[in-house]
Amino acid sequence: MTIFNFTIRRIMRDKGQLITMLLVPIGFITLVMMLFSGGQFNMSIGVVDYDNTEWTQSFINSLDNKGIIVSIDEDEIEGKLLSNKINLGLVIPKGFTDDVVSMENPQIQAYSINETDVTVPVTIFIDNFLAASKHIAAAADGNIDTFNKGISLYINGSNNVKEAFYDVGESKGSTVSGMGFLVMSMLYFSVSASGIIMEDKEGKTFYRVLTAPVRLREYMLQKILSFLVLLQAQVITVFLLMKYVFKMNMGPSLFNLLVALFVFSIVCISFGVALTSLSKNTRQLSALSPILIIPMVMLGGSFWPREIMPEILIKLSNIVPTTWILISIEKILYGQNLVSITTELGILLMFSIVFFLLGTWKKTEIEV
């Protein structure tokens, strides 16, 4: 593992690499935190309650800590959304509580201009509240008093019930933004680290190493392994910082996030190797990387939610790996498990295969 060890040693000594690896994501996340904490966002939720029962009151009260609740008429919703007086409009239809108690499948209509980071936690909270209500209705077996008592216990009460639902109390908007910048930094770092292969070629040490009893595949494997380890170190360091220094909400499973980002680091490395192989020199590599990475992270949703982009760009964003990792991260942050992101992870692995093929497609002979 000589090549592996010395590659790590060389990268860790390079100030430029360290800045790309750690300072860039930390800097961006600090900026995000300053923006999020600088202006605490108070969401306005407009509610139209046609049912007006004990359950709907409990439900509206429970929304209280998610934003400012405004009672409005249904025909005001569109105007207030457009004038930004409310961010979310909810309509509870007549007979909703009865439908819940009788185990039917009633719907609360929710209106927003775009489903952004701000509204997603609330809509997820509503889904959870409804799911909990249905469980309680099933236990109450149609008895409205028992049902109301159960709801009351659920809202005020025991930890046992509370723990059954993951915490969506804190907005994960800042976490998602932070992850966006981490994803960008991972791409930049992997290209910068892969540049060490280019440096070896330009400095002729690549040629010299291959005159030793070392096969090309051993050399590449150890280089790739060292990049992978360093990318994990980058992710873990940034995670620790996000969780313990910035006190960000990292969702219910840090492990799942790490797994998703591990898959993405394979994509990053394959991307870096492909770019290194296709570039003629380090200059070209440095010029190419922002040209490719910036559009990738912009389309993928690192800087803003993908949903606010025009339809054509959203469709286009499907062909960049950043989209799929950010979708995975968002899903994990909002409580979904690894099984629910297998498609996204599969797509990411496909990207890495394509990039690796691009990287190895060129040259069968070593140029001296």
Partner 1 sequence: MILKINNLVKRYKDVLAVDNASISIAEGEIYGLLGPNGAGKTTLISTILGLTKYDEGSIEIFGKDLKKNEYEIKKEIGIVPQDLAIYLDLTAYENVEYFGRLYGLRGNLLKERIEEALNFTGLWDRRKDVPKKFSGGMKRRLNIACAVMHHPKLIIMDEPTVGIDPQSRNLILDSVVKLNKMGSTIIYTSHYMEEVEAICSNITIIDHGRVIAKGTKEELKSMISFEERLAIDISSVNFNLVDGLKKVIGVKECSLNGNKLLIISEKNANNLSRIIDVILKMDVEIKGLNIEKPTLEGVFLTLTGRSLRD
Query: What burial class does residue 7 get, using C-beta atoms within 10 Å of its C-beta: 0-12 exposed, 13-18 middle, 19+ buried?
Result: buried
Under rule CB under 8 A, which residues in 231-270 are in contact with partner 1?
A: none
Q: Indicate the residue among 209 and 338 with the shorter CB distance to partner 1.
A: 209
Candidate residues 9, 85, 149, 283; the one interacting with partner 1 per rule CB under 8 A: 9
b/e 33-53 (16+ beta carbons within 10 angstroms → b)? beebeeeeeebbbbbbbebeb
The single-letter code of the amino acid at 7 is: T
> How far is Cα 181 from Cα 23, in angstroms, rounded to an integer?
11
Residue 365 interacts with partner 1 (CB under 8 A)?
A: yes
Say which residues have a Cβ less than 8 Å from residue 51's Cβ, sequence separation at least 6. 92, 93, 94, 95, 96, 97
- For residue 122, what are its two tokens? 């609330």
Residue 12 interacts with partner 1 (CB under 8 A)?
A: no
Task: Give yes or no for a contact between 174 and 248, defined as CB atoms under 8 angstroms apart.
Answer: yes
Under rule CB under 8 A, which residues in 148-207 are in contact with partner 1?
A: 203-205, 207
335: how many CB neighbours lie within 10 A of its CB? 17
Q: Indicate the residue among 96 and 219 with the shorter CB distance to partner 1.
A: 219
* Continuous segment of H or E residues that includes residue 299: helix 282-300
Q: Indicate the residue among 213 and 310 with the shorter CB distance to partner 1.
A: 213
Candidate residues 291, 312, 339, 368; the one interacting with partner 1 per rule CB under 8 A: 368
Cα distance between the two ends of the chain: 24
What are the beta bridge partners of residue 70? 46
Q: How far is the CB of 228 from partner 1 (least distance, A)?
A: 21
Q: Indicate the residue among 54 and 199 with the shorter CB distance to partner 1.
A: 199
* Beta strand residue intervals within the chain, DSSP E: 44-49, 68-71, 88-92, 109-111
Q: Indicate the residue among 281 and 343 with the shorter CB distance to partner 1.
A: 281
Which span (3-11, 89-97, 134-142, 149-157) binds partner 1, by CB under 8 A? Answer: 3-11
Distance set, CA 14 to CA 21, 181, 243, 282, 326 (Å)? 10, 22, 27, 15, 29
Q: How far is the CB of 275 from partner 1 (least distance, A)?
A: 21
Q: How far is the CB of 215 from partner 1 (least distance, A)?
A: 7
Q: How far is the CB of 278 from partner 1 (least distance, A)?
A: 22
Q: How far is the CB of 193 from partner 1 (least distance, A)?
A: 14
> How far is Cα 81 from Cα 76, in angstroms, rounded to an integer?
9
Residue 13 interacts with partner 1 (CB under 8 A)?
A: yes
- For residue 121, what are its two tokens? 């936690």
Residue 6 interacts with partner 1 (CB under 8 A)?
A: yes
* # residues near partner 1 by CB under 8 A: 22
Q: Indicate the residue among 74 and 202 with the shorter CB distance to partner 1.
A: 202
Q: Indicate the residue among 200 and 344 with the shorter CB distance to partner 1.
A: 200
Under rule CB under 8 A, which residues in 196-235 are in contact with partner 1?
A: 203-205, 207-215
Residue 73 interacts with partner 1 (CB under 8 A)?
A: no
Chain residues that interact with partner 1, rule: CB under 8 A: 2-3, 6, 9-10, 13-14, 203-205, 207-215, 365-366, 368
